[in-house]
């Protein structure tokens, strides 16, 4: 039996993962990708997150990213690889990470706490597994950067994609298609706002409403777009399923290590958020 609290891994993920995500909202990322010829912001996102997989086409990205419109992805892939190779994209992404974290965290990037966080997060990744986790596996084949803040970001990426790949298994088990997953997550009050989803994921408002209707037919969403008791239970079961699939790295790190990594991650996250890392209207139901 694990001595970890059942949700300890999730709490640690929620503290560490957002620091990974800062790069995709960063002007440094747009600048670096534009510098190698990728000027469209959505093409830049797809290229940056998929580059570890190689010069893949839209099918692979639709499968591994899950909640984006295939038509949107196909507008940018595989064409983006004619502009910039995956290796060039990965180099540009790492330059953007360096600039972003230095801007958001200042001297903390060279602090003993950052080095400690990198060590703990990398130790946790030792227990991640490749089978059936394509985005994690692709990133696990990349070298670990030497500088602690970049190593921490790399480890956060591995932990993020490991949990994310498992989460897709849980979504399929729950019978939630990409938009139903987004609608139900937003209804919890923790997901991205519909405005951000529709602007970034390539879906139309009519697609959103159709997914909402399907959830209502299943008794998961009420007439006002709120989760029903059954919908709340399904989302809770979904997260617990994801927790079980993502337990190994946190068991490997151990209770003290998980608690310390969570504490350090929260500190960096609060500093980054205070420095304007995320849009004010990113989450919510509006």
Note down pLDDT in tens along the chain; length 286 residues.
457 887 999 999 999 999 999 999 999 999 999 999 999 999 999 999 999 999 999 999 999 999 999 999 999 999 999 999 999 999 999 999 999 999 999 999 999 999 999 999 999 999 999 999 999 999 999 999 999 999 999 999 999 999 999 999 999 999 999 999 999 999 998 888 888 889 889 999 999 999 999 999 999 999 999 999 999 999 999 999 999 999 999 999 999 999 999 999 999 999 999 999 988 766 655 5
Residue at token pair 């390539």:
202
pTM confidence score: 0.94
Residue 7 tokens, joined = 């949700």
| C-alpha–C-alpha distance, residues 77 and 48, integer Å | 12
| DSSP type of residue 52 | G
Residue 233 tokens, joined = 């239970």
Q: What is the CA radius of gyration of the chain?
A: 19
Give, to the nearest 10 degrees, the angle between helix 205-217 and helix 194-201: 120
Residue 126: count of CB within 10 angstroms of its CB? 10
Chain-centroid distance of CA 152 in Å reads 15
CB-based contact 120:264 (threshold 8 Å): yes
């Amino acid at each position: 039996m694990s001595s970890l609290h059942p949700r300890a891994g999730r709490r640690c993920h929620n503290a560490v993962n957002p620091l990974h995500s800062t790069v995709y909202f960063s002007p440094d990322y747009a600048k670096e990708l534009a510098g190698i010829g990728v000027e469209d912001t959505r093409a830049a996102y797809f290229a940056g997150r998929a580059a570890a997989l190689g010069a893949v086409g839209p099918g692979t990205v639709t499968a591994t990213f899950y909640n984006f419109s295939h038509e949107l992805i196909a507008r940018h892939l595989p064409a983006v690889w004619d502009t910039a190779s995956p290796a060039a994209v990965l180099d540009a992404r790492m330059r953007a990470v360096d600039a972003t974290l230095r801007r958001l965290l200042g001297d903390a990037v060279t602090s003993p706490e950052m080095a400690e966080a990198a060590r703990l997060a990398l130790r946790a990744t030792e227990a991640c597994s490749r089978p059936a986790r394509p985005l994690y596996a692709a990133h696990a084949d990349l070298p670990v950067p030497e500088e602690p803040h970049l190593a921490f970001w790399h480890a956060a990426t591995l932990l993020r994609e490991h949990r994310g790949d498992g989460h897709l298994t849980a979504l399929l088990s729950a019978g939630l298609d990409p938009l139903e997953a987004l609608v139900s997550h937003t209804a919890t009050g923790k997901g991205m706002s519909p405005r951000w989803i529709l602007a970034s994921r390539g879906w139309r408002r009519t697609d959103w409403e159709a997914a909402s209707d399907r959830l209502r037919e299943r008794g998961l969403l009420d007439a006002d777009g709120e989760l029903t008791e059954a919908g709340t239970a399904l989302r809770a079961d979904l997260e617990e399923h994801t927790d079980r699939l993502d337990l190994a790295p946190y068991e490997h790190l151990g209770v003290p290590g998980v608690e310390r990594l969570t504490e350090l991650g929260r500190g960096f996250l609060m500093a980054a958020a205070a420095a304007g890392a995320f849009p004010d209207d990113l989450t919510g139901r509006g």
